[in-house]
Amino acid sequence: MPAASGPNAAPGRAPPGPDLVVQLASLVSGPTPRLLIVKGPPGSGKSSLLRALVPRLGGPVVLVAYRVVPSAGSPDRSGAPDPPAVSLLIVDPGRPPGTERPDVDRTSSIALPLGPAGATSFASMPAPLKDALARLTTAGGGCVVVDSWDRANEEALRRGVSDGAAVSQLVAPTDLLRELLGRVPVHVVLALFGEPDPQVESLADGIVELSTERVEDVLLRTLRLAKLRGSAALPSRLFSVANGHFYSTLPRGTGFRPPIGPAEVDPASESAGLWPGSSDFASAFGRLREHGLTAFELGEEIPDRLFDPLVAPMVATALRGGGRVVWVPPGSSSAAHLVTGLERFVSRELLAQNFRVLSAGGPEPNLRDIRSVVLPLRRGAHDGGDTRSADAPPLAPMFPEAHAFLRDARGNGPVLFVLSIDGLRALAMVAQVNYNESTLPHIVASYARLPRFHGIGFGRARDPFTQALLPSVDTYLKIRQAHGDAVVFGIRPPTPAYLLDWTRPDGRYSLVPIG
């Protein structure tokens, strides 16, 4: 069964190693037989994890799917019904073809409370499974992968085996599966959606727990390596099963600075709305509407530097399309930092002509020949006033130089105003501009009337000015931290959660579904 090559199984997008799958494969690939348990509720991703694990195992693999079926026999002399049996689907690449068995009962799968090895004789196993185990033992190692059986899993098993594999379906006693735990001289990987017997957990060399948890408005898939022989339990992390492919994140250090990648070419230039420079963004949240606003609400633990890789492709797309951009960065950034990130994809000549920065820090000599990108600030150039009174006058645009620069754009290129709420506060302080929660939406609206305009703002969740803008935005996205990773999800429009990931060689971000 082929493993996913990356978050969305796209060619050339392989996660760096060693990841969780590599770690687990190493556990059940050595010379000493090991037992690995993967547990979680139905639909939690156990089968996807197993399908990713199988190609990494270092020896022959026999796949077994099971479900409990009613006994076909009659009650015994005491009147008690026969014990339940298991229906097995055995996929054995090492077995000669042509020995398949007919289908058996397709009763729905239920939880099977497996216990430790019992008194059932190894010799009593059905011939296909006994032969497969004997072959693995003779080969000096191998692995039996056991999973619950449903239609989707059956299709994946049949689709993923090699051409020469034999597939058998048969009925066997329930105790048969217990024999696989601690009795057979090969590795065993066992997926369960019920809680295993405590004695089984004590036999396990590794236990992976899959679950979901709610973060504000969305559900996230999480996993925990609860037990790993010889190592301490690891903290929970996020994972994805998008398109049936398992992908687990890697822990990132606190100083991780995400790269800024290039903008993707618009695949449908005639479509309504402005292209955001990322097919992942467009698929998840849509295009940028003309005269509209997009707001990113950042959790308190999200660093400002995470915003630049999201908006830089939008800016590069606008500039290369003949548009103009004004960017108000937070106090932690600067015009030189923004120019450095953009000039890998946009020429300095184009930046000098169509890109401007409003920065509380003022002119920056290190920009040399393109110092003009920093707009001057006039003290008291605008007073925001107060619109709460009935006779309040109309509000003029805040920072008229920026407004005039965008207004005078030529051609049909998009016009973007990128605004940090923290940066706006610093600007207003330096320029001695007065504004408040009631006037800010009106000031932003004066920009939104410009042709081909789109506003992109970001601020902290607890900032009252962020909250003042949210009622008027078209696209309202939240960015939060979960288990060391950044996740983004839509409130308007509502969307599932996506992991913000950077595994593409060119530095572009990916939005990986983790809901």
Q: How many CB atoms lie within 10 A of CB 117?
A: 17
pLDDT category of residue 515 using cuts at 50, 70 and 90? confident
pLDDT category of residue 9 using cuts at 50, 70 and 90? very low
Which tens digit of pLDDT belongs to each residue from 281-293?
A: 999 999 999 999 9
Which tens digit of pLDDT belongs to each residue from 368-397?
A: 888 888 888 765 544 444 434 434 344 457
pLDDT category of residue 6 using cuts at 50, 70 and 90? very low
- So what's the pLDDT on residue 170? 57
Which tens digit of pLDDT belongs to each residue from 236-273?
A: 899 999 888 899 877 676 677 888 999 999 988 667 78
Average pLDDT rounded to a whole number, residues 408-413:
86
The separation between the first and the last C-alpha atoms of the chain, rounded to the nearest angstrom, is 24
Q: Are 497 and 220 in contact (CB under 8 A)?
A: yes
DSSP 421: H
User: What CA–CA distance (Å, rounded) separates 161 from 158?
Assistant: 6
User: What CA–CA distance (Å, rounded) separates 418 from 439?
Assistant: 18
User: What CA–CA distance (Å, rounded) separates 266 from 414?
Assistant: 13
CA-based torsion, 455, 220, 10, 248: positive or negative: positive
CATH 3.30.720 holds for 20-72+81-248: no
Question: 189 — phi, psi (to 5°)?
Answer: -115, 120
Type and span of the H or E element at 36: strand 35-39
CA-nearest of 28, 25, 21 to 187 is 28
Which tens digit of pLDDT belongs to each residue from 423-477?
A: 888 888 887 777 778 888 888 888 888 989 999 999 999 999 899 889 989 999 9
pTM of the full structure? 0.82
Type and span of the H or E element at 53: helix 46-53
User: Can you spell out the DSSP letters for 294-350?
Assistant: EEEEE-TTS-GGGTHHHHHHHHHHHHHTT-EEEEE--TT--HHHHHHHHTTTS-HHH
Q: Is residue 268 classed exposed, middle or buried when 0-12, 13-18 and 19+ CB atoms within 10 A define those classes?
A: exposed
Domain 279-385+395-482: CATH superfamily is P-loop containing nucleotide triphosphate hydrolases (3.40.50.300)
Q: Are 88 and 169 in contact (CB under 8 A)?
A: yes
The rounded radius of gyration (Å) of the Cα atoms in the chain is 30
Residues 6+ apart with CB under 8 A from 127: none
- So what's the pLDDT on residue 175? 57
The domain segmentation of the chain, as residue ranges, is 20-72+81-248, 279-385+395-482
Which tens digit of pLDDT belongs to each residue from 104-129?
A: 333 333 333 343 333 334 455 667 77
- So what's the pLDDT on residue 15? 38
User: What CA–CA distance (Å, rounded) separates 474 from 393?
Assistant: 26
pLDDT category of residue 165 using cuts at 50, 70 and 90? low
Stretch among 52-56, 87-91, 158-162, 277-281 having the lowest mean pLDDT: 158-162
pLDDT category of residue 486 using cuts at 50, 70 and 90? very high
Residue 176 has pLDDT above 80, yes or no: no
- So what's the pLDDT on residue 186? 79
Average pLDDT rounded to a whole number, residues 185-190:
82
Per CATH, 20-72+81-248 and 279-385+395-482 having the same topology is answered yes
* Diameter over CA atoms, the chain: 99
pLDDT category of residue 149 using cuts at 50, 70 and 90? confident
User: Can you spell out the DSSP letters for 342-399?
Assistant: HTTTS-HHHHHHHEEE--TT---GGGGGGGGGB----TTS-B---TTSTTPPPPPPSS
CA-nearest of 444, 405, 400, 434 to 295 is 444
User: What CA–CA distance (Å, rounded) separates 17 from 503?
Assistant: 11
Average pLDDT rounded to a whole number, residues 19-47:
87
Q: Is residue 138 classed exposed, middle or buried when 0-12, 13-18 and 19+ CB atoms within 10 A define those classes?
A: exposed
Residue 355 has pLDDT above 70, yes or no: yes
Better-predicted residue by pLDDT, 314 or 82? 314
Average pLDDT rounded to a whole number, residues 65-78:
59
3-state secondary structure of 169: strand
Residue 18 has pLDDT above 70, yes or no: no
User: What CA–CA distance (Å, rounded) separates 112 from 219?
Assistant: 27
User: Can you spell out the DSSP letters for 98-154?
Assistant: S--------PPP------S--S--GGGS-HHHHHHHHHHHHTT--EEEEEE--HHHH
3-state secondary structure of 503: coil
Question: 81 — phi, psi (to 5°)?
Answer: -70, 155
